[in-house]
Chain A
């Protein structure tokens, strides 16, 4: 089983961010930590016997949470669950929110993989995104992490930023590659409702989507070039693209995320966290006060009634089949016919024979060697292709 821990705090919300996160006061951060520990303890009892293979601490900016509070959370995790010796323990951090001393502290509870949100090596782009750091601060954070003995580091970068040219992106790529990280995630900027970016760029985003000339966002052709440039440069430097937006060296993929795509069961704890347990997907309460109240009903050692889920989605067989496909196909290895049959006891053709053949004829899918994979074009157009695997 995997464990996801959500830390919904950040020093300042970035202008494009629509994640469940905000700069809460210290007393909320304290109360949240307490609530989170109770929730973890509760599930530790409830899921006794489950072994934890990976842990991912996401946010928000988990590294912005006070070190002693994060320590308390992780102590509770270790006290409540059997965490495997070789478990991947990942955490997100943002440059400028974490000191050398903090890294040492994280190492004590087992942190062995770090994901740093850089986004760009150009300070003007960082300012535009509303990030709290510049490139120089990132370099210091990176160095501190390495010094603390973290040998598996991911760097997040973004393509499709307003005003981004291939030259600027190439500069970012060069800088990042030069640092020799083990993993790079390259996401295309999404203009999400409810963010300052949405207000700023909503019309441009529509224009971009329609293939028309844009004002500040790169036009559709440029955005496409930017992603192609990223893929090409990373490939040349030995980063293997193992998922639509993820690149790794020497097989150092993010095991936790691969778990999501291969439907490994996972428990998500914290505000708004999602879980996949058995044949059901759960979602936690997204409102802070309600979350704190619910957890306050549990005792400190985790005994008590089950918290009320904000979302419970019992998956039908068809749901599971569709998920298996549209999650599995995000990975460049795709899925294997045998794997499908072992999971569902039926041939993949029972569900998707025509769909797959049509998509193959359109050049979106490869069906060779007993595997089903997206082609490079299929990866470029994954939304369209994956939507075809939904079952009515």
Chain B
């Protein structure tokens, strides 16, 4: 197919602005799917995504569109995640596109993630096509939003299609403008092969399925290809494109095309997302830009609830990493939890998603320790240690000083809540940078915030304090020196390594107190009293006590129905089994996550 009849594009939007709905409409209107095949949201095909209403993994679909000019066009729609945790995934999806459809909610206008995504798209030299969605809402004000797009982002928006993805109104205009306003790919079919890997999937029959965008040259079955970053070589078994929910094999992928290849790739580490595929015999000299090793921002320990499942967890992490270059892990051991892994994530949502996938797709029962960021510990001997596990903090006498990661945060908020949000940022040790009014009633706040302060519950706090009117985006900006201490938790006088965490010195008391309160609720009562203490070094800064239990009786033994009684006893026994023993105290697995929810109460 002629490259001029191909459009590779993605849809970018702030969460809830209607990205998946528009994708559905476009897929419907291009007629690749029958009504019956059409599920509510075709692109979000992972069970988890549907439940959360967010798109996590980028995917692609190839559509055929008969344009008004009479031509038949191939549209490759590459889906991108919207959440800030997944900026890297957005980035590599964008790298496979030539243009981006920007959706802005006709009522809400531009939000923090809209801006972040647009800047990313512009960074990738993508043409941006604005679309104003949700015009069916009573509060829709498309004129104001069009102004806002022009003023704030600086792109022309007067012709932007004003649509309702929900009702389908004007969606046809979006398709037309994709043809007329977004550029066709401009690769050289006869040049040596270069193709960017933007995603991949492990299939137990076919091995790794690599999703790629061909920039130059041609990729065919039988070709011997080289992965430029990893150096791995493979013989291509099959190439093809993405039908609706299926892979459709074809003869070749030529410059400008988006599709997949398989090559009996068994080793999951050989095909890294962002890498460039080229021919082994006639390689290009330079890989395509786009490959960057992503550094996790948040670390936590993941342990199998059943110690015997350690190899299964290892295997599952290995498989997940294939689809998720950002996931990192290495083995670690804990006195309380046994053998497990210290895992690195892009953010807390990413952690959550991985944890849930491990539990659902691999049927693993997990214990997760409190997430933390990567601290830099400068030692008196002049060396520097990147600390991902609080347990490894050197003795205070060996520490010269420590640094913690900070982010540049942008928060958009309606003027009523500016005060509340500024208070929140202040509480989270934020450093005010500036405030700009986007329009009369909305402002953009910029703060420098320690990453440590936003990984747990900042989103929730932001939402509740602004009644949902604030949006938020951030980018890691560097490291700053900080007064940090390690807070240890002692249960029945025994320190529990998996509960230790690093905290800003001035908030240590408060955190320690809340942690003790929380653990008091999580730890079941035993036959003896259990003191719970928070300590810095040998100094105890907070204490709670779990009272001894004195009564636990099921009185009624009725009509000879023994089964019910037995079930209750079984539940009791099972509950005990699922707990971790530290000293002579049984700690439920949830307790290890409790630090996460400190601000809920």
> Which A residues are within 8 Å of any B CB, using their own CB?
4, 6, 19, 56, 58, 187-188, 190, 210-211, 220-221, 223-224, 227, 244-245, 257, 260-261, 266, 268, 272-276, 281, 283, 311, 313, 323, 326-327, 330, 362, 379-384, 386-388, 390
Smallest CB separation, B544 vs chain A (Å): 12
B308 within 8 A of A: no
- List 4 tightest A-B contacts by C-beta distance, closest first: A187-B555, A387-B572, A387-B569, A387-B573
Query: Given the known A-B contacts A227-B551, A381-B527, A382-B554, are A326 and B559 also in contact in the complex, defined by CB atoms under 8 Å?
Result: no
Report how far A380 CA is from B551 CA in the complex, Å. 5
Q: Which residues of chain B in 518-547 are interfacial with respect to chain A, using CB atoms and an 8 Å cutoff? A: 521, 525, 527, 546-547
Report how far A313 CA is from B560 CA in the complex, Å. 14
Residue from A19, A323, A383 in contact with B554 in the complex, judged by beta carbons closer than 8 Å: A383
Query: Given the known A-B contacts A390-B570, A390-B573, are A6 and B559 also in contact in the complex, defined by CB atoms under 8 Å?
Result: yes
- Chain B residues touching A, range: 20 to 34
Asked if B563 and A274 sit within 8 Å, CB to CB, the answer is yes
- Nearest chain-A residue to B546 (Cβ)? A211
19 pairs, A vs B, C-beta closer than 8 Å? A56-B559, A187-B555, A210-B525, A221-B550, A227-B551, A245-B556, A266-B560, A268-B559, A272-B561, A274-B559, A274-B563, A276-B562, A281-B563, A283-B561, A323-B562, A330-B557, A362-B527, A381-B553, A382-B553
Residue from A58, A210, A220, A387 in contact with B558 in the complex, judged by beta carbons closer than 8 Å: A58
Report how far A362 CA is from B548 CA in the complex, Å. 13
Asked if A274 and B576 sit within 8 Å, CB to CB, the answer is no
Report how far A190 CA is from B550 CA in the complex, Å. 16
Residues from chain B with Cβ under 8 Å of A4 in the complex: 559-560
- Nearest chain-A residue to B576 (Cβ)? A387
Residues from chain A with Cβ under 8 Å of B510 in the complex: none
Chain B 563-597 per-residue mask, 1 if CB under 8 angstroms from chain A, else 0? 10110111011001000000000000000000000
B549 within 8 A of A: yes
Report how far A227 CA is from B554 CA in the complex, Å. 13
Query: Given the known A-B contacts A386-B569, A388-B573, are A275 and B560 also in contact in the complex, defined by CB atoms under 8 Å?
Result: yes
Residues from chain B with Cβ under 8 Å of A386 in the complex: 569
- Nearest chain-A residue to B548 (Cβ)? A211
Residues from chain B with Cβ under 8 Å of A227 in the complex: 551, 553
Query: Given the known A-B contacts A283-B563, A311-B563, are A224 and B551 also in contact in the complex, defined by CB atoms under 8 Å?
Result: yes
Q: Is the interface of B mostly helix, strand, loop or mixed?
A: loop
Identify the interface centre among A56, A311, A382: most chain B CB within 10 Å of its CB: A382
Residues from chain A with Cβ under 8 Å of B565 in the complex: 326
Smallest CB separation, B36 vs chain A (Å): 37
Residues from chain B with Cβ under 8 Å of A380 in the complex: 550-553
Asked if B552 and A381 sit within 8 Å, CB to CB, the answer is yes
Smallest CB separation, B549 vs chain A (Å): 7
Report how far A113 CA is from B478 CA in the complex, Å. 82
Residue from B525, B527, B556 in contact with A190 in the complex, judged by beta carbons closer than 8 Å: B556
Smallest CB separation, A41 vs chain B (Å): 21
Identify the interface centre among A58, A210, A227, A381: most chain B CB within 10 Å of its CB: A210
Residue from A244, A275, A283, A390 in contact with B569 in the complex, judged by beta carbons closer than 8 Å: A390
Report how far A323 CA is from B563 CA in the complex, Å. 10
Report how far A118 CA is from B572 CA in the complex, Å. 31
Residues from chain B with Cβ under 8 Å of A313 in the complex: 563
Asked if A224 and B550 sit within 8 Å, CB to CB, the answer is yes
- Nearest chain-B residue to A270 (Cβ)? B559
Residue from A211, A362, A379 in contact with B553 in the complex, judged by beta carbons closer than 8 Å: A379
Residues from chain A with Cβ under 8 Å of B527 in the complex: 362, 381, 384
Query: Given the known A-B contacts A210-B521, A387-B572, A390-B573, are A245 and B555 also in contact in the complex, defined by CB atoms under 8 Å?
Result: yes
Residues from chain B with Cβ under 8 Å of A268 in the complex: 559-560
Asked if B554 and A211 sit within 8 Å, CB to CB, the answer is no
Asked if B557 and A326 sit within 8 Å, CB to CB, the answer is no
Report how far A274 CA is from B561 CA in the complex, Å. 6
Residues from chain B with Cβ under 8 Å of A272 in the complex: 561
- Nearest chain-A residue to B573 (Cβ)? A387
Smallest CB separation, B553 vs chain A (Å): 5
Report how far A223 CA is from B559 CA in the complex, Å. 26
Smallest CB separation, A5 vs chain B (Å): 10
Asked if B555 and A260 sit within 8 Å, CB to CB, the answer is no
Residues from chain A with Cβ under 8 Å of B554 in the complex: 190, 382-383
Identify the interface centre among A323, A380, A387: most chain B CB within 10 Å of its CB: A387
- Nearest chain-B residue to A245 (Cβ)? B555
- Nearest chain-B residue to A323 (Cβ)? B562
Asked if B563 and A383 sit within 8 Å, CB to CB, the answer is no
Asked if A384 and B555 sit within 8 Å, CB to CB, the answer is no
Report how far A248 CA is from B576 CA in the complex, Å. 35
Residues from chain A with Cβ under 8 Å of B562 in the complex: 260, 274, 276, 281, 323, 327
Smallest CB separation, A310 vs chain B (Å): 11
Report how far A380 CA is from B557 CA in the complex, Å. 16
Asked if A273 and B552 sit within 8 Å, CB to CB, the answer is no
Residues from chain B with Cβ under 8 Å of A327 in the complex: 562
Query: Given the known A-B contacts A387-B572, A390-B570, are A381 and B551 also in contact in the complex, defined by CB atoms under 8 Å?
Result: yes
Asked if B563 and A257 sit within 8 Å, CB to CB, the answer is no
Report how far A381 CA is from B528 CA in the complex, Å. 13
Query: Given the known A-B contacts A211-B547, A211-B549, A380-B550, are A257 and B570 also in contact in the complex, defined by CB atoms under 8 Å?
Result: no
Q: Which residues of chain B in 53-96 are interfacial with respect to chain A, using CB atoms and an 8 Å cutoff? A: none
Apart from A187-B555, A268-B560, A272-B561: 10 A-B pairs, beta carbons within 8 A: A6-B559, A188-B553, A211-B546, A223-B551, A268-B559, A274-B562, A311-B563, A381-B550, A381-B553, A382-B552
- Nearest chain-A residue to B527 (Cβ)? A362
Residues from chain B with Cβ under 8 Å of A260 in the complex: 557, 560, 562
Asked if B555 and A244 sit within 8 Å, CB to CB, the answer is yes
Asked if A383 and B569 sit within 8 Å, CB to CB, the answer is yes
Residues from chain A with Cβ under 8 Å of B572 in the complex: 383-384, 387
Residues from chain A with Cβ under 8 Å of B576 in the complex: 387
Smallest CB separation, B242 vs chain A (Å): 47
Report how far A223 CA is from B553 CA in the complex, Å. 11
Asked if B525 and A384 sit within 8 Å, CB to CB, the answer is no
- Nearest chain-B residue to A382 (Cβ)? B553
Smallest CB separation, A90 vs chain B (Å): 12
Smallest CB separation, B460 vs chain A (Å): 22
Residues from chain A with Cβ under 8 Å of B568 in the complex: 383
Residues from chain A with Cβ under 8 Å of B566 in the complex: 323, 326, 390
Asked if B550 and A326 sit within 8 Å, CB to CB, the answer is no
Report how far A58 CA is from B573 CA in the complex, Å. 30
Smallest CB separation, B577 vs chain A (Å): 10
Smallest CB separation, B556 vs chain A (Å): 6
Residues from chain B with Cβ under 8 Å of A190 in the complex: 554-556
Identify the interface centre among A223, A266, A380: most chain B CB within 10 Å of its CB: A380
Asked if A19 and B563 sit within 8 Å, CB to CB, the answer is no
Report how far A382 CA is from B572 CA in the complex, Å. 11
Report how far A272 CA is from B566 CA in the complex, Å. 17
Asked if A383 and B552 sit within 8 Å, CB to CB, the answer is yes
- Nearest chain-A residue to B550 (Cβ)? A224
- Nearest chain-B residue to A260 (Cβ)? B560
Smallest CB separation, A225 vs chain B (Å): 10
Residues from chain B with Cβ under 8 Å of A381 in the complex: 527, 549-553
- Nearest chain-B residue to A244 (Cβ)? B553
Residues from chain A with Cβ under 8 Å of B547 in the complex: 211, 220
Smallest CB separation, B213 vs chain A (Å): 54
Report how far A244 CA is from B546 CA in the complex, Å. 26
Report how far A227 CA is from B550 CA in the complex, Å. 11
Query: Given the known A-B contacts A380-B551, A382-B554, A383-B569, are A276 and B525 also in contact in the complex, defined by CB atoms under 8 Å?
Result: no
Residues from chain B with Cβ under 8 Å of A220 in the complex: 547, 550-551
- Nearest chain-A residue to B564 (Cβ)? A274
Report how far A275 CA is from B559 CA in the complex, Å. 9
Asked if A273 and B559 sit within 8 Å, CB to CB, the answer is yes
Report how far A216 CA is from B295 CA in the complex, Å. 53
Smallest CB separation, B520 vs chain A (Å): 9
Residues from chain A with Cβ under 8 Å of B553 in the complex: 188, 227, 244-245, 379-383
Residues from chain A with Cβ under 8 Å of B573 in the complex: 387-388, 390
Query: Given the known A-B contacts A380-B552, A387-B569, A390-B569, are A58 and B563 also in contact in the complex, defined by CB atoms under 8 Å?
Result: no
Query: Given the known A-B contacts A274-B562, A274-B563, A387-B573, are A211 and B556 also in contact in the complex, defined by CB atoms under 8 Å?
Result: no
